[in-house]
Amino acid sequence: MSPLFIKNMTFKEKVNTLLIECLLEKPSIFLIDLIITDAFKVIVNLDGDDGVALQDCIDVSRFIDAHLDREEQDYSLEVASVGVGSPLKLVRQYKKNIGRTLIVKTEAETIEAELVEADDDFVVLSWEAREPKKIGKGKETVQKELKLPYGNIKEAIVTVTF
């Protein structure tokens, strides 16, 4: 990328362009959030198809640092992987978490279920529920399944069990 091209960009455009360029070298790592505060604190949150190693964060941080001039704009930089309990934001995150248990909030309800399928438009959730028996008294355990478009998901978080 030509230095003249970078000079004519805003600070956020420069950082974003550098991130894109850096992540091309790491195709299994992807950007979740890029936040730049008014005080020029740059916060980069990454995820990966196979997780994010500490070295990945170091590499991205060094790449950005090497291509920005602190004389031109003073900034602080924080590069991290998304934490456990962070909401899923991208379809790619849903796809990598197939087989795991999610807590999914919709407009109407909150469901704790296994993510059994994820494509570009929908997720399929499966869980067991206790419901009244169709005949007689008492309850029975039934298997439930729900095909849910991403637009109906307010928040989805992977649960961690120990």
Name the most confidently modeled range: 66-70, 131-135, 151-155: 151-155
Structure confidence at residue 6 (pLDDT): 56
Question: Looking at residues 18-27, what average pLDDT do you find?
Answer: 94
Inform me whether the pLDDT recorded for 35 exceeds 50.
yes
Question: Looking at residues 111-132, what average pLDDT do you find?
Answer: 95
Q: Taking all residues of the chain, what is their mean pLDDT, rounded to a whole number?
A: 91
41-48 and 76-81 beta bridge pairing: parallel
Q: Give ranges for CATH 2.30.30 in the chain.
A: 91-158
Query: Looking at domain 3-81, does it have CATH number 2.40.160?
Result: no
What backbone phi and psi angles, to 5 degrees, belong to 89? -120, -25
C-alpha radius of gyration, the chain, whole number: 21
Structure confidence at residue 5 (pLDDT): 53
Q: Give ranges for CATH 3.30.300 in the chain.
A: 3-81
Structure confidence at residue 131 (pLDDT): 87
Bridge partners of 117, per DSSP, are 124
Whole-angstrom distance, CA of residue 44 vs CA of residue 19: 9
- Quick check: 97 and 86 in contact, CB under 8 A? no
Q: For 80-100, write each residue's pLDDT tens digit.
A: 999 878 999 999 999 999 999
Architecture of domain 91-158: Roll (2.30)
